[in-house]
Amino acid sequence: MTKLVDNISISMADPCNFDKFFSEKETRDIRRFSVRELPPIGNPNASCDFNLFFGFFFDGTRNNYNLCTENEGFSNVARLYDTYPGQAVPGVVKEALPLDGNEEYPHFFKVYIPGVGTPFPQVNDSGKGMDATFGAASALFGHERIVWALMQAINNLNRYFVGQELLDKGKILSLSKQLVITGWHLKKERWLTAGEIDQGKQSTYDTLREQLKLLHGSIKDFMHAPGEKPANMSKGKVGNIHLSAFGFSRGATKARCFSNWMQRLCQLDAELTGQPGQMTLGGFPVKFDFLGIFDTVASVGLASSTLLFDGHAEWADAETSLRVPMGMPCVHLVAAHEIRRSFPLDSIEMGAGAPPGGEEIMFPGVHSDVGGGYLPKEQGRGVDPKGADMLSRIPLAVMYRKARLAGVPFKAEKAKPAAQLRMQVDPKLIADFNAYLAALGVEAGKPAPEKAYKSLLKDLYLPYIAWRLSWVDKQDDASLRAHFDNLQNASNADVNDLLGGNVKLAEHLGYYKSWSRGEIVEIGKMRRAYYPPTFDPKVVKDWSEFKGIWPELEKGEQSSLLKPAASCLFQYYVHDSYAWFRLTGKEEPEILAMLEKMSHQDPNSLSEEEKDWVKLYVDSGRKQIPKAVTGGQEPFSVGAGYLRYRKVYAGADNVLLTRRGQSSSDTALA
């Protein structure tokens, strides 16, 4: 079952204040975990015993640490990365913020993987032009990122013992072309045909075995059988390797796939080192401590924005690749108000239940309100220039807390001041968030209710529809800014987007009303009941559910479903992802570049309208674009828009979050 997030304690305002953020009992639990992080003091026989710690951080689509150092647009994955101690992969994060006392953690390794659609030179992804377009649209270079991360696990071990990487960029790129990491290959080793053998091809498993043998040859003097000492004690005696992985959006998809392939790699290593049935790397036992993921979206290959595809191509098979690995505790934070067709959710549930040790928690907000990535003040949400009042800070604090209680060695209390600022949560945000939860029946000090996914989703999403209907008539810049005080200083680009979404809502509302009234239309000599202009039958299915409650929804602010605390959260904190996400048309940076070019042209070559655009641009300090209604959002023809429920997969392409105990109308969320 999926649960609603619990009431947030004011102590969670500062995750970097260890003593206040955690209770006394939690502090004791964390202290017990910390014993395994450093050799014990006062025990000469164990003074050289070390465990190794590997943290992997898969960023979301178009999220990249290196692109955010000037604008505070870091995702929650990037923020967590800054609190993990130890050595980073050289050259990946350019302006890293190592922890105070980081030299105490030479046996800790952290690996950051930039999101698809952004530059990642290590896999030859330029993050520009078609690389950026297809990276964002279909997860191009996602395969290469997963292979790169797997090979960094091998490199981490070699760097600890030998002081250098074992597999360089060229070698890993070559391996990316050889390795096939589909769900089918994950299930079992695929033997080569006679023809493939004649061509000199090598199976995926044999290729992985080959890399493990290279590792064993490199570190053989440091390897040891259980209970024995290694021949070379210069790096101490390694006990276990503790591994955790984090991801957001497609990065969450990659983290899930990576974790499954990492387990497979460790099983192969155990076979090679005479420990069949175990999971090892270099012969050392590997413990999969934690998988922390924010709002998993696959959309690999042809995405769900079309009617014929589900986004589970190649390495994102729903049944196998995205299954939470056996024995790996997992926390999945999901967005209640994300409705873009291109962003279906992949729940961690497999049919009717979550995996053992798995926890799925629903938060108010859209995709990046959970995983982070919005800029402070974007769309008029928040006033703090550092973003402490952004809704995404609460899921960040929740994930940080749950990870530390599971043994992940985060150390926010030792992070650099800049990294600590990125973790802060504004007390007013916490108060407004808790007021919203209270309106849903969540009380302080008591656990939030668990419900079937769709029942919980209705509780959160139907009030949002009522709120949207309360201002659907605001169809121009002046009326929208007048209605919302937080839009007074918003950029033209943001208001243009919000208007574009609202115009679409008005259009779709017209379709809904014609359908719900049962209007009769004439087509030539034929008469039939009105049907909305979409190819997606799910639209009418969702509308049939809305129909019974519609009289209450269209009351807007007067609806019994919409409490003042919900209106507050929607207006001041929840972003509009549908309005912002455009499949066609120029993005703001492209328009600004066009205006900059125009500003240097002969005014006589410009139209009167273009002259007005240039004047606005120059007068605004070269920051503002013209006022307009932005188009290009996902089309209604494929079932997109606000008047729908999000598609949520549950472990298979054809299982859409079936729940035990639901009514027949709630058995599928499709």
Closest CA to 104 of 80, 117, 92, 86: 86
- Token pair belonging to 225: 């059988």
pLDDT band of 197, cuts 50, 70, 90: low
| Alpha carbons 486 and 482: distance in angstroms, whole number | 9
The letter for the amino acid at 73 is G
Residue with tokens 């033997």: 191
DSSP secondary structure string for all residues of 33-98: HHTTTSPPTT-GGGTTEEEEEEEEEEPPTT--GGG-TTT---BHHHHHHTTS-SEEPTTTSTT--P
Q: Encode pLDDT of 122-157 as tens digits.
A: 999 999 999 998 888 888 999 999 999 999 999 999
Closest CA to 280 of 361, 232, 362, 215: 215
**Which residues, listed in sequence order, are joined to residue 88 by a DSSP beta bridge?**
110
Q: Encode pLDDT of 79-119 as tens digits.
A: 999 999 999 999 999 988 899 999 999 999 999 999 999 99
- Secondary structure class of 148 (helix, strand, coil): helix
Model pLDDT, residue 303: 59
CA distances from 385 to 71, 73, 145, 390, 622 (A): 9, 11, 32, 10, 20
User: Degrees (nearest 5) of the Cα angle 402, 358, 259?
Assistant: 90
DSSP secondary structure string for all residues of 432-470: HHHHHHHHTTPPTTSPPPEE-HHHHHHHHHHHHHHHHHT
- Give the residue-averaged pLDDT of 299-307: 65
Give the least confident one: 144-158, 240-254, 444-458, 557-571: 444-458
- Token pair belonging to 395: 């899921």
| Alpha carbons 600 and 273: distance in angstroms, whole number | 68
pLDDT at 19 over 70: yes
CB 241 within 8 A of CB 72: no
Give the least confident one: 92-101, 290-299, 359-368: 92-101
Model pTM score: 0.93
Model pLDDT, residue 353: 74
CA distances from 342 to 9, 578, 639 (A): 34, 10, 11
The letter for the amino acid at 31 is R
CA distances from 625 to 325, 593, 604, 612, 620 (A): 48, 10, 21, 11, 9
Q: Encode pLDDT of 404-433 as tens digits.
A: 999 999 999 999 999 999 999 999 999 999
Model pLDDT, residue 80: 98
What helix, strand, coil percent values describe the chain, rounded to 5? Answer: 45, 10, 45
Residue 263 phi, psi dihedral angles, 5° rounding: -65, -40
- Token pair belonging to 626: 């013209």
Model pLDDT, residue 113: 98
Percent of the chain with pLDDT over 70: 93
- The alpha-carbon radius of gyration of the chain (Å, integer) is 26
Model pLDDT, residue 666: 40
Q: Encode pLDDT of 472-501 as tens digits.
A: 999 999 999 999 999 999 999 999 999 999
- Secondary structure class of 111 (helix, strand, coil): strand
- Give the residue-averaged pLDDT of 647-656: 83
Residue 55 phi, psi dihedral angles, 5° rounding: -120, 130
Residues 6 or more apart whose Cβ sits within 8 Å of residue 475 = 499, 502, 503, 506
| Alpha carbons 169 and 163: distance in angstroms, whole number | 17
pLDDT at 669 over 50: no
| Alpha carbons 659 and 647: distance in angstroms, whole number | 14
- Give the residue-averaged pLDDT of 623-641: 92
| Alpha carbons 84 and 80: distance in angstroms, whole number | 7
- Token pair belonging to 492: 């033209």
Give the least confident one: 15-24, 350-359, 577-586: 350-359
CB 81 within 8 A of CB 71: no
Model pLDDT, residue 474: 97
- Token pair belonging to 649: 């997969």
**What stretches of 139-188 show up as alpha helix (H) in DSSP?**
142-162, 169-178, 183-187
User: Mean pLDDT of all residues in the chain?
Assistant: 91
pLDDT band of 227, cuts 50, 70, 90: confident
pLDDT band of 192, cuts 50, 70, 90: low
Residue with tokens 């498993």: 205
- Give the containing element (helix H, strand E) for 180: none
- Give the residue-averaged pLDDT of 192-206: 74
pLDDT at 194 over 80: no
CB 407 within 8 A of CB 401: no
Model pLDDT, residue 667: 36
- Give the residue-averaged pLDDT of 551-564: 96
The letter for the amino acid at 219 is I
Model pLDDT, residue 660: 36
| Alpha carbons 412 and 420: distance in angstroms, whole number | 7
Model pLDDT, residue 203: 86
Residue 78 phi, psi dihedral angles, 5° rounding: -65, -35
- Give the residue-averaged pLDDT of 382-402: 98
Task: State the pairing for strand pair 280-281/284-294.
Answer: antiparallel
- Token pair belonging to 547: 């129909």
Residue with tokens 């243009």: 496
| Alpha carbons 225 and 204: distance in angstroms, whole number | 28
| Alpha carbons 352 and 228: distance in angstroms, whole number | 46
| Alpha carbons 460 and 502: distance in angstroms, whole number | 20
Percent of the chain with pLDDT over 90: 74
Strands (E), 367-524: 450-451, 520-523
Closest CA to 290 of 410, 116, 396, 392: 410
Model pLDDT, residue 668: 39
CA distances from 616 to 176, 379, 588 (A): 49, 20, 15
